[in-house]
Chains A and B, each alone.
Chain A
Amino acid sequence: DAGITQSPRHKVTETGTPVTLRCHQTENHRYMYWYRQDPGHGLRLIHYSYGVKDTDKGEVSDGYSVSRSKTEDFLLTLESATSSQTSVYFCAISESVGPGLETQYFGPGTRLLVL
């Protein structure tokens, strides 16, 4: 497995509270991604980063924000958690977008339950 860790691995929180998930990589890859996985939906892109301080929205970005102050860390914040954000969150990294370099490697995931 690529050097990707996610923390926490499991979290239970209450509706309305802010939550921050962390993705840490040791591969020095430029691109980082946050996905959520829900039954019947596969994996859906929330936000991604193409460099330090360079981020952009994915297809399901409402209610989420991200930050990347260092190459190795990509943070996902749920500003005010809702039950619809109960999901498994995966971070992924890729070296580049060029041929042979665009493979995305996934972290172990964070299971979030919002009560």
Chain B
Amino acid sequence: GENVEQHPSTLSVQEGDSAVIKCTYSDSASNYFPWYKQELGKRPQLIIDIRSNVGEKKDQRIAVTLNKTAKHFSLHITETQPEDSAVYFCAATGSGTASKLTFGTGTRLQVTL
């Protein structure tokens, strides 16, 4: 099955700096890669996603890049703000009868003033 590794497990940046979180996946058939943000005690919420036919996608301060050859994808947050502090999860889904997501183990992002 799919295996997703996520790094780093914790990340501390100063407000206004950029943050980058990286994930690798093992199944070359994976074709959908969402990123979720989870605040303490809350549900995971989708912040951006990318499909395998696209190399990069951007939404305001958030961008995701995908390298299919190397089987890795990254989340980039620019101009970080305190409200960006949360745990971020990457995920990947392969082919099949349902979008069976395999998640990374999460990155705790702390944005300091």
A is bound by B: yes
Binding site for B on A (CB under 8 A): 1, 31, 33, 40-45, 48, 50, 56, 58-59, 90, 94, 97, 99, 102-109
On whether the beta carbons of A48 and B98 are closer than 8 Å, the reply is yes
Bound together, the chains give a CA A52 to CA B27 distance in angstroms of 29
A residues less than 8 Å from B45 (CB atoms): 106
- A43 CA to B44 CA, complexed, in Å: 10
Is A104 touching B43 in the complex (CB atoms < 8 A)? no
CB under 8 Å from chain A, chain B span 40-75: 42-46, 49, 51
Partner of A103, one of B34, B98, B104: B34
Contact B44 A40 (CB under 8 A): no
B contacts with A, residue count (CB < 8 A): 26
Partner of B34, one of A42, A59, A104: A104
Q: Closest residue of chain B to A32, judged by CB?
A: B98
- Chain A positions within 8 Å of B101 at CB level: 33, 43, 45, 104
Task: State whether A42 and B99 are in contact (beta carbons under 8 Å apart), knowing that A99-B51, A106-B43, A107-B43 are contacts in the complex.
Answer: no
Extra contacts besides A50-B98, A56-B98 (17): CB < 8 Å: A31-B98, A41-B105, A42-B6, A42-B103, A42-B105, A42-B106, A48-B98, A48-B100, A50-B97, A97-B96, A97-B97, A103-B34, A103-B46, A105-B46, A106-B36, A106-B43, A109-B43
With a cutoff of 8 Å between Cβ atoms, the chain B residues found around residue A97 in the complex are 96-99
Chain A residues with CB under 8 Å of B99's CB are: 31, 94, 97, 102, 104
Give chain B interface residues in 62-111, CB to chain A under 8 Å.
Answer: 89, 91, 93, 96-106
Across-interface contacts of A102 in B (CB, < 8 A): 32, 93, 99
> Once bound together, how far apart are the Cα atoms of A90 and B36, in whole Å?
14
A91 to chain B, nearest CB (A): 10
